[in-house]
Amino acid sequence: MARKAVYESLDFERLDISEQQQRSDEFLQRMLKRRSVRHFSSEPAPISLIENAIRVAGSAPSGANQQPWTFAVISDPALKRKIRLSAEAEEKESYERRMTPEWLEALAVLGTDWRKPHIEDAPYVIVVFRQAYGIRRADDDQDERVMHYYSDESVGIAVGFLLAALHISGLATLTHTPSPMKFLAEILGRPANERPFVLIPVGYPAEDAEVPVISKKALADIMVRH
């Protein structure tokens, strides 16, 4: 039986134009400083920052508000090691056999390879899972599948929120997608409806961290007006 929508008045703070512009400029300048980091220090970071960032991610819009995501936070060194070794095994196979010459050529500007020490060095690894479908306990105590809508888009938006929140709180991140990623669900014992979406090492950059010299497209190259 369909449930009915219940409405309440919107809590919306209308700002002066000058305040809007100032916040927009500040956010832009801050976000422009985000870089994907591959050299992490092992210095611990407060779990409260990770928790708040996941709260931010959990506030993202999602298809039918189904919130089809799970954020696994790993700090246990033995588990991080296990994940690193499995990721490296898959990545070695990918770099040496599965990726096309065109793909390797496209990646050359980043200088990446199959080695993933950052998975062990960073104090936290967040593995984001997409719930391909939901599970509901029916009246007869049997589990029923609940259809999820737009779960890829929803989780992508939530990960964007997560990366921005971690950056704003002074932490460095890397979006890493070892392929295939199924080993993550196995190692972390996730249920059958959850698919690994992205693996994110989080922490402070190493003292001598370096990043590739790359640039972002200009506004004129990414925006069209109609």
Nearest approach in angstroms of CB 92 to ligand IYR is 10
How many CB atoms within 10 Å of residue 196? 23
99 CB-contact burial (10 Å; exposed 0-12 / middle 13-18 / buried 19+): middle
Residue span 22-61 as binding mask against ligand IYR, x where in contact by CB under 6 A, dash where not? ----------------------------------------
Is 91 a binding residue for ligand IYR by CB under 6 A? The answer is yes
What's the Rg (C-alpha) of the chain? 20
Q: Where are the alpha helices (DSSP H) in 35-150?
A: 47-58, 77-93, 101-107, 118-121
Is 176 a binding residue for ligand IYR by CB under 6 A? The answer is yes
Q: Which residues pair with 146 in a beta bridge?
A: 134
Is 80 a binding residue for ligand IYR by CB under 6 A? The answer is no
Helix (H) or strand (E) holding 128: strand 124-131
Nearest approach in angstroms of CB 140 to ligand IYR is 44
The smaller minimum CB distance to ligand IYR, of residues 56 and 119, is found at: 119
Out of 108, 110, 135, 147, point to the residue binding ligand IYR (CB under 6 A): 110
Q: Decide: 60 and 161 in contact? Cβ < 8 Å.
A: yes
Find the residue with minimal CB distance to ligand IYR. Answer: 112
Query: Binding residues for ligand IYR, per CB under 6 A?
Result: 91, 107, 110, 112, 176-179
